[in-house]
Structure 1
Amino acid sequence: MSSPVTPSLTYRSPPGPLHATLLAGTVPLFLGALLSDIAYYNSYQIQWSNFASWLIAGGLLFCGLALVFALVNLVRAPKKAGRPLVYFLLLLVMFVLGLVNAFEHAKDGWAVMPAGLVLSVVVTLLACVTAWMGLNLRSGGPA
């Protein structure tokens, strides 16, 4: 007679619908800002920089609200380490770098380049990684 095999418990705690919407919304907003920065870099039309500034502001709003949800989920989690903590820290870094990017885009004219473009690339990559990790969040199992 074989003994029953019990798999290691992995508790799946995906974000709620509002949290997931806010998290997923950061990707197109920061990606749009990156594309606007690329267009500004190639055309010298200041309106592209203005458009990027507004998209970054929207991305920061979504990211900030998702950060609040992630903090609440981290506080409520039975295990305060592993993926939930890494997810929260990635969101925090994305928010801080997005804020620095917003300050960079507040400069006048061509002073935005090239730092604004580089920050937009970094924040967009962070948004993609954070959204992937946040929408596949697991706690309790191996990280």
Structure 2
Amino acid sequence: MNTENHPSRFSITSAIFNLLDPIPFGFFVAVLIFDIIYAKTANVMWVKSAAWLVSIGLVIAIIPQLINLGRVWFGKHRVRTTGMTINFWLNVVAIIAALFNAFVHSRDAYAVIPAAVWLSIVTVLAMGIGRIILAGETVTFKGYSHGQV
């Protein structure tokens, strides 16, 4: 009987990462929604709220990505898969786009559109595709066939 010992991927850092990783995605989706509403209504409240949301989302996004950096690239028991690597780089792209988006949102409200909408779309798409790739990789199917224990 062969048993393979795989290093455990659970630790306190993994728990913190799993807790904080989805939060920035929600902030960035809200930024995209607020930017679209501002583009349609020209009510300054929406773009100022989006500026706050993108700033808070950036602060929260950096913490799980630093944990992911250590876990995927520098960890003692690295368990690096292709999906984790792609997710990491897509999140880096999203954070850079969100940083530029924060700079765009620091302008006058009327100078924000259309750059803010495009940067929000890039941010949400990059994070969304990364989450989909990561979720598709972690799904496991257990097949049971007749006669095997």
String of CA shifts for 1:55-111, please: whole Å, max 9, x gaps: 111211121111101111011153656233222211211111110111111111211
Contact 1:56 1:102 in 2 (8 A): yes
Q: Secondary structure at the match of 1:78?
A: coil
- TM-score with structure 1 setting the length: 0.78
Once the two structures are superposed, what CA deviation does each residue of 1:21-65 show, in whole Å capped at 9, x if it has no partner? Answer: 211112210010011001100110111001001111121112111
Q: Structure 1 113/99 Cα, relative in aligned 2: closer, same or farther at 3 Å?
A: same
Aligned residue identity for 2:112: V
Q: Who wins on radius of gyration, i.e. which is larger? A: 2
Q: Which residue of 2 aligns with 1:38?
A: 36
Q: State the alpha-carbon separation in 1 of the partners of residues 18 and 135 from structure 2.
A: 7
Number of residue pairs aligned between Structure 1 and Structure 2: 134
Q: Given that residues 12 and 137 in structure 1 are in contact (C-alpha distance below 8 angstroms), is that contact kept between their aligned partners in structure 2?
A: no
Tell me the TM-score normalized by structure 2.
0.76
Over the aligned positions, Cα root-mean-square deviation in angstroms equals 2.8
Identity of aligned residues (%): 23
Unpaired segments ≥5 residues, structure 1: 139-143
Stretch of structure 1 that moved more, 129-138 or 42-51: 129-138
